[in-house]
Chain A
Amino acid sequence: MRPSPARLLNILVPVKRAVDYAVKIRVNAQQTGVDLNVKHSMNPFDEIAVEEAVRIRERLSKEGSEPVTITALTIGPAKSVETLRTALAMGADSAIHVEIPESAPAPEPLGVAKTIRAIVEKQKEKEAVDMVILGKQAIDDDLGQTGQMLAGLLGWGQATYASKVELDLEKKNAVVTREIDGGSEQVRVKFPMIVTTDLRLNEPRYASLPNIMKAKKKPVMKMSPADLNVSLEPQIETLKVTEPPKRVGGAKVESVDELVEKLKAAGFTAV
């Protein structure tokens, strides 16, 4: 029998609780943000990140190189634990909840990246993290920075906008196909590394009822930013949040003739 790799593969997956993607959001009356009394769920890109971690384990266990450990992590108020339970039900082994008060402002990518770095550094004492898989962006702030910032802070290689991840455990690297402007590219990144997910990386599974039940028993470790010696104080000041200008659409035409007339009247003729 071939000796299995000396060490486990440790994957850390940060996930964010966000307003559900199907909710039509509303700016609040004070113009300080949006009404958050709506359905929340895991940021869709993070679901893809959890799914990828689970698939990596499934692929490797077929090759006999088990086990892979998957730790989900979130930074957020008490309710964010729901998001961790979802990750656990999808297949994460354990979770870390860095809890902040309900009233605290939303952490910024740099603060989040520093928090994740602190956890990566803590993990080093027992099982060093080989790979952090994050979503390419959160659909609420749409900033798209956390993975890259974390890679910068740790000095690790990064593969953003991944649509395919192939591991080579022996060589301790991964070949990642990335979606770039105008096409795609392949890069080989050494462990430890950062991956950020694009939508086409995979199709996340639904957690089954038995797995949801099992997830309730999986360990969730609570920490505070202070335990990790990080500050989540925002550096970007939000002055106000407003409604975008409304479009007055809704005008229908009865026929193709009318449609083409409107096009021509607006100057859109054949070239």
Chain B
Amino acid sequence: RPLLSRNYASASSPHALIFLEHRQGVIDSGSLSALTAASQLGGQVTGLVVGSSEHVPTVVDKVKKLKGLTSLLHSTSDLYSQQLPETLAPLLQKLLSGSEYTHVVSTPTSLAKSLLPRVAAILDVPAVSEITSLEHDSSSNSTTFTRPIYAGNAISTVRLPSSVPIKFFTVRATNFDPAPSEESQEIDVKAVDPVDVQDCPTEHISTQLAKSDRPDLSVAGRVVSGGRPLKNAETFAATLNPLADILGAAVGASRAAVDAGYADNSLQVGQTGKVVAPELYMAIGISGAIQHLAGMKDSKMIVAVNKDPDAPIFQVADVGLVADLYEAVPQIIEKLKQ
């Protein structure tokens, strides 16, 4: 791979900047899918890793091997140890203003969703959220995307024309395979200076992360989700964890379960929570409201246990069982053991 390939970029060949996300040095899995999407533009893809000196070197080491990246930028500063849109936006603004970049790409993490629109507005360009497919046309310098609207009940095909000089978009991880690593890959890695922010209006105080040994919900191959009838946090855990354990599954929840405090808010599946598309999704005591279906209806196999035969979840379930979950779930666990 040519080291200085960026010199060959022309107006018609796209050059994406991908904001690669990590948390405390661990690369976000969605970034790998976003990279696959960025590669599909058919041009160069420059990665950007930002953070503190404690974490950036580890991330850079791992990331520079990712297939599809043609170069990598990193910026390190104490200012970036807590990643705030207010401190990161000026860096992106500097990298992008008057640059050759044609696209800005990221996975829709809570940080990227907070940051990218801020930067897009500063650069006076629109942004497209959570795309599920894309196609770039170099001759017209336009990019066409599909994305779900109305909680996934309609699919919109939209185009960013050449009049939009830098095209911002986030990528639904469930629609793109994660980019693999290539041990042999050698790419240009460059440090960029942080941009100082005078009088930052925002200051980070503290972070609380829910700890879990289970697979990460967004990438798990199997998900067991519970809803309102799980009564309380103890019952939720006591009922669903053994099933998740035996299947090696991640645990998810409906909004009703999250609102009532049975499950952590980061486990919410749906239009306004996480979107998952595992091989197996088990909905236990979940009615299947529009907003919940938005987050799981692309799962390969959907299994539902619900005592109401008319629950909407049965309209999408491949395997539906009308039963009381408190009887059915322990039996399912027993039978899976056999």
Interface size class of A (residues with CB under 8 A): 35 or more
Using Cβ atoms and an 8 Å threshold, which residues of chain A touch B150?
A: 19, 25, 34, 139-140, 142
Using Cβ atoms and an 8 Å threshold, which residues of chain A touch B266?
A: 179-183
B139 contacts A by Cβ under 8 Å = no
Determine whether the beta carbon of B155 is less than 8 Å from that of A244.
yes
Using Cβ atoms and an 8 Å threshold, which residues of chain A touch B317?
A: 249-252
Q: Nearest chain-A residue to B299 (Cβ)?
A: A247
Determine whether the beta carbon of A188 is less than 8 Å from that of B203.
yes
Using Cβ atoms and an 8 Å threshold, which residues of chain A touch B322?
A: 252
Determine whether the beta carbon of A251 is less than 8 Å from that of B318.
yes
Using Cβ atoms and an 8 Å threshold, which residues of chain A touch B109?
A: 181
Using Cβ atoms and an 8 Å threshold, which residues of chain A touch B206?
A: 185-186
Determine whether the beta carbon of B210 is less than 8 Å from that of A148.
no
Stretch of A66-74, A211-219, A222-230, A235-243 with 4 or more beta carbons under 8 angstroms from chain B: A235-243
Determine whether the beta carbon of A149 is less than 8 Å from that of B118.
yes
B126 touches which of A152, A235, A239, A241 (Cβ 8 Å):
A235
Determine whether the beta carbon of A158 is less than 8 Å from that of B86.
yes
Q: Of residues 252 to 267 in A, which have CB atoms within 8 Å of B's CB atoms?
A: 252-253, 255-260, 262-264, 266
Interface size class of B (residues with CB under 8 A): 35 or more
A160 touches which of B113, B200, B315 (Cβ 8 Å):
B113
Using Cβ atoms and an 8 Å threshold, which residues of chain B touch A139?
A: 150-151, 271-272, 291
Q: Nearest chain-B residue to A261 (Cβ)?
A: B335
Contacts A156-B201, A188-B203, A252-B322; A180 near B110 (Cβ below 8 A): yes
Tell me, rounded to whole Å, the shortest Cβ–Cβ distance linking A27 to chain B: 5
Q: Nearest chain-B residue to A196 (Cβ)?
A: B114
B127 contacts A by Cβ under 8 Å = yes
Tell me, rounded to whole Å, the shortest Cβ–Cβ distance linking B303 to chain A: 7
Determine whether the beta carbon of B303 is less than 8 Å from that of A199.
no
Using Cβ atoms and an 8 Å threshold, which residues of chain B touch A185?
A: 204-208
- Dominant SS among interface residues on chain A: mixed
Interface string of A127-163 (1 = CB under 8 A from B): 0000000001101111111101111110011111101
Contacts A153-B121, A186-B206, A239-B158; A269 near B336 (Cβ below 8 A): yes
A residues with a Cβ closer than 8 A to B are: 19, 21-22, 24-25, 27, 34, 108-110, 113, 136-137, 139-146, 148-153, 156-161, 163, 175, 178-190, 193, 198-200, 235-244, 247, 249-253, 255-260, 262-264, 266, 268-271
A-B contact pairs, 5 of them (CB 8 A): A139-B272, A140-B149, A198-B272, A200-B265, A253-B319
Q: Nearest 8 A-B pairs (CB), nearest first?
A: A157-B201, A149-B121, A271-B248, A145-B117, A152-B118, A152-B121, A148-B117, A183-B209
B residues with a Cβ closer than 8 A to A are: 23, 84-86, 89, 109-111, 113-122, 124-130, 144, 147-161, 163-164, 200-210, 222, 246-248, 255, 258-259, 264-266, 271-272, 279-280, 290-291, 297, 301-303, 305, 309, 314-323, 328, 331-332, 335-337
